Amino acid sequence: MHARGFRPIAKADARVLVLGTLPGTMSLAMSQYYAQPRNAFWPIMGALFGALPALAYRKRLKLLTKNRVALWDVCHSAYREGALDASIDAKSIVPNDFATFFRSHRHIQLVCFNGQTARKLYRRLVLPGLPAQVQQVPQLTLPSTSPAHAAMRFEQKLEQWGIVRRAFEA
């Protein structure tokens, strides 16, 4: 299946950019980031920012942007059978336009990856084409919130994801 990702969720004052790989089947069907109910992303964002899964999707997004968190994916489009990142055909990946994104979002001070695949793809397909100043923005790989990453308990994931909130608390 040829999958096409979503537009970024971000305001111009965003400080943290959270990057996934490519929306899964359920997310694409619902036109929502992390729509798979067993994905820990929204429960984690609920614990950090009050963006609980029970809230309407638009309210969750508003809470993220209010807290200067931007949300996007590395891949603009790719061919993938199923929902797992491991099923993405690497040769079919078209990355998102990060050069334009960073020109419009100059306050990004931390890029967080939702899992290893997002990090690997960003570093291979995106980072080399970015201006030197943007290449210097700190990057942090966080544990995947996917239900496929069951080796880590929710509490452990939440502890590590806490950096998204703590990074800019005064």
As annotated, the active-site residues are 39
**Torsion angle of the four alpha carbons 100, 119, 39, 87, in this order, in degrees rounded to the nearest 10:** 100
- Tokens 């009050």 correspond to 50
Using an 8 Å Cβ cutoff, are 127 and 111 in contact?
A: no
What value, to the nearest 5°, has the Cα angle with vertex 56 and ends 55 and 62? Answer: 90
Q: Starting at the earlier edge strand, list the strands of the sheet with 2-4.
A: 2-4, 75-79, 94-95
